[in-house]
Structures are given as C-alpha cells and as structure tokens.
Structure 1
Amino acid sequence: MMTPSIAATCFVAIDLSKSKWLVALDAPHLAKIKSVRLDGFDTPGLIDLVRATVAAATELCGADQRPVVCFETGYDGFWLQRLLSNEGIETLVVDPTSFLVNRRARRVKTDRVDAEGMVVLLKNYCSGDRKAFRTVRVPTVAEEDAKRFHRERKRLMSERTGHINRIRALLALQGVRHINPAMVTWRKKLDGLETADGRPFPDQLMREIVRSFERLELTNKMIKALAEERDEALATESERFPEHEKAVLLEGLRGVGRHSAMLLSAEVFGREFKNRRHLSSYLGLTPSPYSSGDVERSQGISKAGNRPARTLGIELAWCWLRYQPQSALARWFRKYTAERPGMRKKVAIVALARKLIVALWRYVETGLVPSGAVLKAEV
C-alpha cells in the first residue's frame, strides 16, 4: 500500500456488528472525530457516507481527498473489503489482536470508543507507524473457497464423533456395550435387543437411538461426498484449488496424506513468507520468552497463528517419525531426546514440527526434498 498524504486523506474506521455499524470519521474539515451509526449491512449508506465526507473535505481544502477505510477481521470475513475496493475505496482489514489494550482494571469499552481508537491508529499507520496495528492479507475468492474442503471436513468429523459417543452413552444406560456404532449392520443388531438385566429395550429410548444412527449415517454420507469433491478438485487443474501443484508435491512424500497436503497448501503454502521465522510465527510455533529484570524463562510457543495448520504440523511430526525413520529430521529427534533424558517427547515434538514445516515449505517452493526423505514412488 502506498502511504497517502495525511493532509489529503479521509480516515474511516468501522466497528461491525450484526445489527449496527458504528462509523468513525476523521477528515481535514472535521474539528474532531465524528461518529455515525448505521444499520447493519447498510452498504449503500456506508458508501454514500464515505463519498459525502470526501466531497466535503475536497470542497473545503481545495485538493482532491482520498478515503482510507479499515475494520477488524472476524465474523464478516472479507466481503466488505472486496465490495469497497470495487467501489474504488482503499480498505484495510486489521488484526484485532494487534491493538494495544489499556491495562487498567476496568477499562472503558464501547463501540464508540473502539471505533474512534481504531481511526486514530489508522491515521498513525498511514503516517508510517507500522506498529500501530497489523493488517491481514486478503485472500482471493478462489483461495478462500479452497479452504472449505478441510474446514467442513473437520466439522463433519467432529459431528460424527459426537453421534458415536451419544449412541454409546444411550446404550450404556441399559448396560449394552457390545454394539459398535460404526457398524453398517446396526439395524440388525438392534432387532430384539434386550437390556443387560433381561428386559425388553425401552421403546422411546430405542427410537432415540435409531434417530441417532440415522444422523450418523447422514454425516458419513456427507463425509464421503466431500472426499469425492476434494479428490475431483485435486485431480483436475482448475480454479477450485489454486495450490494444486504444491498439494501434489506434498502428497508425493511418504507419511503425508491427501488431506494433510491440501490443508497445508491452502492454509500455509499459498502465502508468501520472508524466511523460516516468518513461517514459524504464522503457525504460532515460535518461542515466547519472558525476560524482566533477573527473571528469565520460556513461556512455550506463542500459539498465536493458524491453529488448524499448527495442529496438523504436530500430527505430521509424529507421522514423520513413523514413516520417514531414516530422514535427517527423524535422526535429529532421536538424538536430541536421547541426549536429554528428562526431555519429554511431547515437548520435543514441537521443535520437530517447526523444522518439518520449514522443510516442507522449502520443498514446495524450490523442489528441495527434505534430507533423507523417501517419496512414495520410491517405496
């Protein structure tokens, strides 16, 4: 983003909610910050307000004014940024966790205070203070849509686990533990089912169990359909999955499955990183030291990055030890833990995950296979 001239800029910050939008305006013709409340999702009113503010500032100052708008990322995603950008309005999406917060015991927090504070930070940011807040990279529509494959799968898998646990709990109420909810022949198992004390199974409880099984079947069908859509998107080089080549490269490594390859490609490797520290920071795998006076200690990893990718990185590290035992990273892990008898492997695996993600990043960017790693074609 080019730094605009502060004297020829109208700054706009929007505090978004489902019912109301509070817009804070700071323009050259205004003596102080102005707040305007709009109905939620009133985009025509917002655009008219921004343009009217720019027109009034241009008329007063005699120089063409330009608007700069910002809002926090969150529930509304990026559609508003795309809409305003299409209207020729420069728009920044801000990471709300990057704001400095007043540490008073009871700080004042209202929509007006938040919006006015954001517009001040926006002005500082455009003046060159890049520490005022952090902006969020806005993905393309195709990049954003490609993430739905693994995100919907995660939700469906969680629903399936919930249905299975519920069925087991309902059966356990009557002492029945021999029925596996994952079996496709569950209807036959329920016919003539008796409780552990020899009574006929209660009618209403049985109906609830049958409905739970039907919900489980529907969830399994959705998971299967989603897997077919995912495979189709990866098999054809189309816009449905922009990072197709990187996913294919990752899947070619032994120990990396299709789901893992597509998740890493969509969530992580579709972005640009300056160096390995930048990549580790995005995943929240960098250390968080605490040093004050004579006190120095480690607080562990920051956990401030992409949570799905960080979780997968830990899982991949365990898989890497199993399927790539002769790789340089696996040998390093065994040596590192052997030299430190008190070191728990659950702690050391985080370091391996950080090194592994960096190695995979170099692999998809440069084609450099991780040292000692085996490709599936070589197995």
Structure 2
Amino acid sequence: SSWLITSLSPGNGEKMSKHSVSAGDLAGLFALFSKLREKSRAKTGHNYPIVSIQEAGLDGFWVHRVLEKEGVESHVVDPASIATSRRRRQAKTDRIDGEALLRTLMAYKRGEPRVCAMVLVPSPEEEDRRRSCRERKALIVERVAHVNRIKGLLFSQGIANYEPLRKDRRERLDELWTGDGRALPALMKAQISREVDRLELLLEQIKLVEDERDALIAAQAAAAPPSPVTMLLNLKGIGAEFAANLWSEGLFRHF
C-alpha cells in the first residue's frame, strides 16, 4: 500500500532519511526527488543526479522503466544476493532493508566486486514472452493437484486403478466399484465428476498455452538470423517446452 524511500543526500553527512509515498504515486515520488535535489543543491551549491536501487519483487519492472524514462539511473537488484549482518539476520523491516540497499548501491558504484547481483531487466516484449512457459508451469501444478485429489478420494474407497488423465475417464467412472463391492457413493461420484470438470478445463487451457508457445517458436524459426530457440530445437533431446524455457528465461541476453 505504500513505498518507503530511504535517501542519502550530498551535504547531509551520513544521515539516511526515510520518506513514505503511496504505492503507485509517481507524481509524489518525483516531487520527493525534486525536493531532495533542491535541498542538496542549497547545501552544496551543486546539482547531483539521482541514482536509485530497488529489489526485484512484486512491482515487477514497470517502476524501473518509468525511472529510466525520466532520466533517473535505476538499478534492480536480486535481494538474495545482498549480504546481511549476522547479528540482524533474523530481523527484516523496511527500515533495515532500505539502509542495506543504500549501502549496497554505494559499494556497487565504488566498483567493489561481487557485492550484489544486479538484475538484467528484460524489455516489455521479452518479459511478455515468458508468459506461456510460466502459465503452463502453473497449470501443470494445478493438474497434478486435481489428479491426486481424485485418486485420493477413490483410494479411500479401495479403488486404485483409475487414471483421471485417460480419455475414457468419465466412462470408467460409471463402472467403478468400491473395494467392498458397493457402487460408488452418489455424493462422492458427484464430487469426483466436478473434479473431472475442472481437470478437463485445465487440459484444454494447457493445450491452448502450448499452441501459443508453438506459434511463437514457429515465428522465430522463420526469422533471420536464427534465434536461440531455433538452434536449441536442432539439438537431440531438447523439446519445445525446454527450449522455450531456456530461450525466454535465460537466453534473452548475451553471455
């Protein structure tokens, strides 16, 4: 709901200041930047550029893009790469995090090696390209959960040979008998039928996402020069999903 901005200004000694801005309030953020710059100019007689750092998190990269568009030198850091005090390793507050980020930024600008890992921000097109693989991964997790739930319900009735992913899943559901020789209870059968409904919707969505992925790969295959995903698919043992994951998550940049 709010952003905590921790600042260190020339002419203000080693004092770090804290400022709160409503999340998403870009006008308030840039007004704060102007205020900080003006205070620094009044104390030192010089104009200083603004350099910012933020953790890669729920806000994604849109704030970084806005800052760069407005001429702010912006950095996005992998939070797991920032060294923390052993005395404070259990403590995590916005105040502590803000000060740690500032110290990390100053060390990075001094050129200290391996002080942190800055994130290479993808372009909006590269970021959007990741959606298919990430959505498919989430859908597969949901599919596994529904399959396991159906199998678990049936196993509690002594039925262990039912495969929900088979195409004849609905026909076989009508033929099931419990381990003690009874027909499948009506309410349990109704619950499993609803689980099958959700499972079939997931299977349909997985197919749609895979079609989107394949269309994207086909477009790259027709492009020149060959893209990394096209070259990966020429290697034995690498399929469309693995190639698309490598391409979208890692090989969008040069090594």
TM-score by length of 1: 0.62
Q: Once the 2 structures are TM-superposed, how far is the Cα of residue 176 of structure 1 from its aligned partner?
A: 1.8
Name which structure has the greater RCO, CA cutoff 8 Å, separation 6+. 2
- Residues 195 and 254 from structure 1, CA distance in 2 versus in 1: closer, same or farther, beyond 3 angstroms? same
1:272 equivalenced with 2:254 (yes/no): yes
What one-letter code is carried by the residue in structure 1 that aligns with 2:200? E
Identical residues among aligned pairs (%)? 36
Q: Equivalent residue of 2:140, what SS?
A: helix
Q: Could you tell me how far 1:152 is from its partner in structure 2? A: 1.4
> Letter of the aligned partner of 2:205 in structure 1?
M
Distance in structure 2 (CA, Å) of the matches to 1:78 and 1:117: 20
Letter in 1 for 2:253: R
User: Are 2:147 and 2:164, in contact at CA under 8 Å, matched by a contact in 1?
Assistant: yes
Question: For 1:127 and 1:242, how far apart are their aligned partners in 2?
Answer: 41
What is the alpha-carbon distance in structure 2 between the residues aligned to residue 217 and residue 109 of structure 1?
A: 43
1:256 to 222, 234, 238: 238
Matches within 5 A, 1:12-161: 19-31=1-13, 32-104=15-87, 108-161=91-144
Q: Does structure 2 conserve the Cα–Cα contact (< 8 Å) formed by 1:243 and 1:265?
A: no
Q: 2:169 aligns with which of 164, 181, 186?
A: 186
Question: Which residues of 2 match residues 222-237 of structure 1 at below 5 A?
Answer: 222-237=205-220
Cross-structure match for 1:199: 182
Deviation at 1:108, TM superposition (A): 4.6
Q: Contact 2:11–2:40 at 8 Å: present in 1 too? A: yes
Aligned to 2:149: 166
CA RMSD of aligned residues (A): 2.4
- Amino acid aligned to 2:63: L
* TM-score, length of structure 2 as denominator length: 0.89
Amino acid at match of 1:63: H
- 2:51 is paired with a residue whose SS is strand
Query: For 1:295-337, what per-residue CA distance to the aligned partner results, in whole angstroms no more than 9, with x for missing partners?
Result: xxxxxxxxxxxxxxxxxxxxxxxxxxxxxxxxxxxxxxxxxxx
* Matched letter for residue 158 of structure 1: V
**Contact preservation (8 Å) 2:220, 2:229:** no
Q: CA deviation at 1:107?
A: 5.6
Distance 1:160 1:211, change over 3 A: same
Letter in 1 for 2:129: A
Q: How far is the alpha carbon of 1:60 from its aligned partner? A: 3.4
Where does residue 298 of structure 1 map in the other structure? Answer: none
| SS across alignment from 1:66 | coil
